[in-house]
Chains A and B, each alone.
Chain A
Amino acid sequence: MASLTIDNVVKRFGAQTIIRGVSFDIADGELVILVGPSGCGKSTLLRMIAGLETLDGGAIRIGERVVNDLQPKDRDIAMVFQSYALYPHMTVADNMSFALRMAGADKAARDAAVQRAASILSLEQLLDRYPRQLSGGQRQRVAMGRAIVRDPAVFLFDEPLSNLDAKLRVQMRAEIKELHRRLGSTIVYVTHDQVEAMTLADRIVCLQGGTIAQIGTPNELYGKPANLFVAEFIGSPAMNILPGRLDVAGEAATLELADGVRWSLPAELSARWRAEGSRDVAVGIRPEHLREAPARFSVPVDLPVAMLEPLGSDTLVHAELAGRRVLARVPPESVDDAARRIALHVDLGHLHLFDRVTGKRLGD
């Protein structure tokens, strides 16, 4: 295992800059997830770590070693591809032992490593089969087994669960988490699925247009998004964003939204944003913070209902607030299927305010 350092890395394809001076560190044994929308550069960054793409600037260090100019085989990494990339003409055992064969390991060592990985992933019964004889989940496991056999310094996962159905994805997610706990390995994992990111990561690197929008633990990104982009990207369903204005007058602060909606913030809360001064803001409210019951700091709202989405454990209410469609997550029993209006409470204690121009988080 080893630490990984990404130092001011730049990547260009022709005139287009894909990665714009990205820097972060990954500690030994940490599972870091690169997340972001399509085209944000997360897969490119992973491929640069793997050595499958060259760097146009900066440095990548695995442990203390700069690996910029090393071939993939010399970087001591293993990669699990989105499409599995199993060798179709080789059995599962041959797929798993291929890297050791290339490294010149003798047959006894190869067999021992394959048996160890197979027992970790419950693949013992499948070693003689070919990839075409396996299910999607089994192929995924073989792809992971191929990586484990190498005992690399860093594991790289490129959207490994995106080809699996929903049920299998949840199962494999748990298996990857368990595997990480068991092996204590350094893992860089790319996904566009923020649920995967939230559930698996020690830390998340959220990328936007080739730059880092925020780095932090899943709870930090969810609870204190650094900007509007992260606020809208992390969380499912996404955070409700409403345009408004923060008015600060002495000790008091008021939020004005469209359609004459006006919330006076209690002194304890207004202290958070007083220093920002009066300005146009984007107000962020998570769906679970449009509550059916009052909270310590909350204001009641009576909203017209547009649609209900029952999820079983919760019901998503599509309603209208300050002229915008918002989503509220409420217990199923608290909403009537035929309801035209719904009485909710906006939990002011969990409001997020962002500068409307820069998108940066305001307050703490």
Chain B
Amino acid sequence: MTISQRQRLMSTLRFFLAGIFAVLLLFPIYWMGQTSLLPTSAVLSRAPSLLPDPAASSLSAYQTLLATYPVLTWFGNSAIITAGSALLSALCATLAGYSLSRFSSRTAHGIAFVLLLGRVLPGTLLVLPYFVLFRWAGILDTHVSVILANASMITPFATFMMKNYFDDVPRELDEAAKVDGCSPLAALWFVVLPVAAPGIAATIAFAATASWVDLLFARTLLLTPGHWTMPVGIASLIGEVQTSWNQLMAAGVLSVLPVFAVYWFAQPYLVGGMTSGAVKG
């Protein structure tokens, strides 16, 4: 076998494996969409059609869902909590990540260790102390409580994400900015942050996704149905006696759309290349 034949075979094999992986990842999403369009009888049939059936498909599950449940309220609550959690954790992670990247010291290493320790603690361990704490602070059953809880879980990992992005930004840029008249914070704002924009976009996307899908904190800390988020609302659709699967899947589709939108719009920033030409060349 020649080298070019071998390369072609390897390339085909890689493509094939990537295809299988993509199908495995995308099938549940396809099936969710497919189920949301089918009538209940088709959903509960013994052998549901794997392929879309335009004749049987309709948007009735969506109409019923929106007419029966306060989906838009849940959606709005989720949007507020997600935006708050993502911005708060991105802000904290940016400042902490920059500090860890640029001001290395024994104390900084200690703080980094504590952050990692925070990351390994499961949410289920923290939710009860948070419940007690937020009730004491008088913010239980408010968006703020879930924003704070989410941010506390997201920030440690986001900090290390940002630290890695800042590590890739040449220190000479900060130094040039300082020589050019910037304080450390001004150097961060005017020079380092624009260069690290892909990192910030990735961190916000990560934080937003993690916050959007949170069920644990929202379910525990939000007591009034009017304050529920999408995941809590969707969970409430699963009845003890009966579950309307097509409505559940329709809610799932609506819930996934913003996540797609975030990644769609953030995608140009998620790829690197901003530092090209900054140093050497």
Contact = CB atoms under 8 A, between A and B. Distances in A.
B278 A98 contact: no
Interface stretch (B56-64, B179-187, B201-209): B179-187
B109 to A, nearest CB: 15
Contacts of B170: 83, 85
Given A131-B277, A131-B278, A139-B281, A87 B178 contact: no
Interface stretch (A73-81, A172-180, A208-216): A73-81
Contacts of A133: 277
Contact of B275 (A77, A88, A139, A146): A88
A51 B175 CA distance: 10
B140 interface: no
B95 interface: no
Interface residues of B, number: 26
> Which of B170, B177, B178, B281 has the most C-beta atoms of chain A within 10 angstroms of its own C-beta?
B281
A322 interface: no
Contacts of B172: 81-83, 85
B180 A98 contact: yes
A99 B194 contact: no
A81 B195 CA distance: 18
Contacts of A98: 177, 180, 190
A83 B195 contact: no
> Which of B179, B182, B197 has the most C-beta atoms of chain A within 10 angstroms of its own C-beta?
B179
A133 B190 CA distance: 21
B182 A89 contact: no
B213 interface: no
Given A87-B173, A87-B191, A99 B279 contact: no
A294 to B, nearest CB: 50
B279 to A, nearest CB: 4
B107 interface: no
Contact of A103 (B181, B279, B280): B181
B178 A72 contact: yes
Nearest to B191: A87
A205 B182 CA distance: 31
B178 A89 contact: no
A334 interface: no
Contact of A83 (B274, B276, B280): B280
A72 B179 contact: yes
Interface residues on A, range: 20 to 34
Contacts of B177: 87, 98
B176 interface: yes
A102 interface: yes
Interface string A39-73: 00000000000111000000000000000000111
Given A52-B175, A81-B176, A85-B170, A73 B182 contact: yes
Interface in A13-62: 50-52
Given A79-B176, A87-B176, A89-B195, A102 B181 contact: yes
A136 interface: yes
Interface string B14-55: 000000000000000000000000000000000000000000
Nearest to A162: B280
A73 B182 CA distance: 7
Given A85-B170, A85-B173, A88-B195, A79 B278 contact: no
A74 to B, nearest CB: 9
Given A81-B176, A83-B279, A136-B281, A88 B182 contact: no
A353 to B, nearest CB: 44
A257 interface: no
Contact of B186 (A51, A77, A82, A102): A102
A198 interface: no
Given A83-B172, A88-B274, A89-B194, A78 B179 contact: yes
Interface in A129-171: 130-136, 139, 146, 150, 163
28 contacts: A52-B178, A72-B178, A73-B178, A73-B182, A79-B175, A79-B176, A83-B170, A83-B280, A84-B279, A86-B176, A86-B279, A87-B191, A87-B194, A87-B195, A89-B194, A98-B180, A98-B190, A99-B179, A103-B181, A131-B277, A131-B278, A132-B281, A133-B277, A134-B281, A139-B281, A146-B176, A146-B180, A163-B281
Interface of B: 170, 172-173, 175-183, 186, 190-191, 194-195, 197, 274-281
* 9 A-B pairs with the lowest CB-CB distances in the bound complex, closest first: A132-B277, A102-B181, A131-B277, A83-B279, A85-B172, A99-B180, A85-B176, A88-B278, A73-B181
